[in-house]
Structure 1
Amino acid sequence: MIYLDYQATTPLAPEALVAMLPWLESHHANPHSAHRAGRAAKAAVEVARDQVAALLPPGGRVAFTSGATEALNWAIKGTAGAIVTIATEHAAVLDTVAAEARRGRPVTILPVGSDGIIDMVAAQAAISPGVGLVAAMLVNNEIGVVQPVEQLAAMARDAGALFLCDAVQGYGRVTIPPGCDLIAVSAHKVHGPKGIGALWIRDGLAVEPLLHGGDQEGGRSGTLSPALCAGFGMAARLMAERRDADLAHVDRLWSLATDRLRGWTINGSIDHRYRGNLNVRRDGLDVNRLMSDCRDIAFSAGSACASGSGRTSHVLRAIGLSDAQARSSIRLGFGRYTDEDELVRAIGTLVAAAQAQGR
């Protein structure tokens, strides 16, 4: 199997597994216990917390969660006032915002252009005094487009609003600007384990709890897993240490992929994007048949979170694609552990299978 679905999840780094194993095999103490074994577990958690924080702006704290979905829910439901967000956000934001709207909270959903970038004129008009929260994704999970988060954060600050950044896809890859108030990240998108994420909270900011029952994380209740924390911490450390090498590798993979997909259309901005995400379309392509014909290649017809829903991608619709164009699009995701020869072989197989459909 050639794995090209890095936006859905990334392979676990071997170093992260090694960091986790002692806490799975023999060190089983609760990190919130006061005895020696508990204190050792707590120390491991705090080392991991520092490693995760090293890739985030200064002046805030990292609170571990069960994942980015919980972190985003906590950030949105734990704040007050009108919400402004973007039509191409992840469902973890849009569905949570919709739930808040049903409770009577005013919500504005801003459009994007055909390149996937937010309409800044509309943003300036919408982000006005009285808005409580502005939420924007740094790197889009479906089309890889990088939003102008720094400018949006400045608009929010000028309006007296808080700014929430969904940095799940950009964490460790794209610089997160210092103007954020809340930042959500996830371990399994950066070669860490599934089941753990974090919400970064600016110093001095209080966010109403989403979960009650112990307050172990200062606003978030629940016993932490030292194993998951250690794995997340090591994954974050590797993202920092290998950032330049990873980005150079991704650039090479992007060049190889786009060269072999000439004649296909790239969805979203080519210039303002993370290049480990290649979302392309070929008119008339039957993606379901393509996936059946190429079973030894793991790729996506859209966001993994919406797979099986039968709906076309809300992100692709937001950039102006028709249902037919959206249904003829695929997403290839690659990164640190993608072999160049395997990528070339996989794309050759995909192109040949796509061309065979037209015969």
Structure 2
Amino acid sequence: MNYPIYLDYNATTPCAPEVVKAMIPWFGEHFGNAASKSHAFGWVAENALDEAREQVANLIGAQAKEIIFTSGATEAINLAIKGTFDLYKGEKQHYITCETEHKAVLDCMKSIEEAGAEVTYLPVDKNGNISLADLNSSILPHTKMICLMWANNETGIIHPIAEIAGLAEERGIVFFTDGVQAAGKTQVSVKGIHLMAISAHKLYGPKGVGALYIRHNHSLPKPLAQIHGGGHEKGFRSGTLNVPAIVGFGKAAEFRLDEMNVESERLKNLREFLENKLLTIPDTFLNGSQNRLSHVTNIAFGGVDGEDLLRKVCQKVAVSSGSACTSISPKPSHVLQAMGLDHDLGRASIRFSLGRNTSEQDVVDTVVWVEKVVLGLRG
């Protein structure tokens, strides 16, 4: 198939060749169940999981025993939020999150609200930033969790995680962060964080595997399991572990740790070229601020219909109008709405996210095509 230029790396990344190579033996030659403790097939699989757990932990500055493997970030988010809610069941509970969180978080919050929790949704300014003063004043005596993402999936905006973690620590509150877009893209540390969700397919690993970091040796409690069965993953997440995918996750984490800083600088240069060129088109606007991931830009194109724009651009450049989970919706992005964009501009906004395989020529060709599309639609 003749694919278009791919600039939708925040939706998913291609599995890196070294990851695929690392995974292949675990589908056939080393097919054992890691829970089989009585023979070599199980021992070999378990050793592979131990190595992958160490590799993933190293990526975020954690200990291997603090990594709980899941089927992806959505499951990790559900375990963190619903597991904490279940832990405090019977008590008055209050949670703090943000209007621009990923739908996986917002839907979990809606679920626990329906079950009796109070939830505060912090607003953001026109650049997508929260106010630490608003966060501090929102804390109540019965606040159980602060839940704020590391970096936004649509705009790349980075929240002040260290300050949020310090506030949560000072007040004795669980701090859970969705680190999906940040891990493997920028420096991440779990210092002061109680829970963090990450995903393999956002950092050149396979789909269908993620992890929840759960802080060890701390007075704050841990979430209760949401999937019960054989007591796998220290009882936090039962189910036979996907050894090939976890091996791939570990390999991806290992090489991203090695190449991340250099690659981030390369992508920043390409992103700035793309962004600066597109913003010379009349009536275009940057959604967000400069405090964001180096490979992401979100641009609004005035004077065009959003659906027509996206359909036409995607003929030659694969991009999105927001989260992959909600991209089929004709509604404007909830993230951009929270930032104050009007309905039409929100729908006519495109997220460009660059990645490992993005070349300078890809960016040059994208600029030419997008400009042609926008000017053509404006007539």
User: 1:143 aligned to 130, 139, 155, which one?
Assistant: 155
Q: Distance in 2 between matches of 1:173 and 1:327?
A: 27
Match of 2:297 in 1: 278
Match of 1:71 in 2: 76
User: 1:240 aligned to 245, 251, 257, which one?
Assistant: 257
Q: Displacement, 1:257?
A: 0.5
Q: Distance in 2 between matches of 1:88 and 1:244?
A: 27
Q: Displacement, 1:189?
A: 0.2
Q: Secondary structure at the match of 1:121?
A: helix
Aligned counterparts, 1:129-168, within 5 A: 129-168=141-180
Does the alignment pair 1:187 with 2:200? yes
Identity, in percent, stands at: 39
Cα offsets for 1:273-293 (capped at 9, x unmatched):
002111001112223223332
Q: Displacement, 1:55?
A: 1.3
Conserved 8 A contact 2:126-2:288 = yes
Q: Distance in 2 between matches of 1:24 and 1:344?
A: 40
Q: Distance in 1 between matches of 2:182 and 2:70?
A: 18
Give the TM-score normalised by structure 2: 0.92
Q: Secondary structure at the match of 2:233?
A: coil
Does the alignment pair 1:253 with 2:256? no
Q: Distance in 1 between matches of 2:108 and 2:258?
A: 34
User: 2:211 aligned to 186, 198, 212, which one?
Assistant: 198
Q: Secondary structure at the match of 1:331?
A: strand
Match of 2:340 in 1: 320
Match of 1:58 in 2: 62
Conserved 8 A contact 1:213-1:222 = yes
Q: Distance in 1 between matches of 2:185 and 2:67?
A: 18
Q: Distance in 1 between matches of 2:289 and 2:271?
A: 14
Q: Distance in 2 between matches of 1:317 and 1:120?
A: 21
Conserved 8 A contact 2:310-2:350 = no
Q: Distance in 1 between matches of 2:261 and 2:116?
A: 46
Give the TM-score normalised by structure 1: 0.97
In the alignment, residue 358 of structure 1 is paired with which amino acid?
Answer: R
Q: Secondary structure at the match of 1:97?
A: helix
Conserved 8 A contact 2:279-2:286 = no
Ranges in structure 1 where 5+ consecutive residues have no aligned partner:
none
Q: Distance in 2 between matches of 1:313 and 1:290?
A: 15
Q: Distance in 1 between matches of 2:222 and 2:347?
A: 43
Conserved 8 A contact 1:82-1:130 = yes
Match of 1:28 in 2: 31
Aligned CA RMSD, in angstroms, stands at 1.3
User: 2:329 aligned to 304, 309, 325, which one?
Assistant: 309
Ranges in structure 2 where 5+ consecutive residues have no aligned partner:
none
Q: Secondary structure at the match of 2:232?
A: coil
Q: Displacement, 1:132?
A: 0.4
Q: Distance in 2 between matches of 1:322 and 1:287?
A: 12
Match of 1:119 in 2: 131
Q: Distance in 2 between matches of 1:167 and 1:98?
A: 20
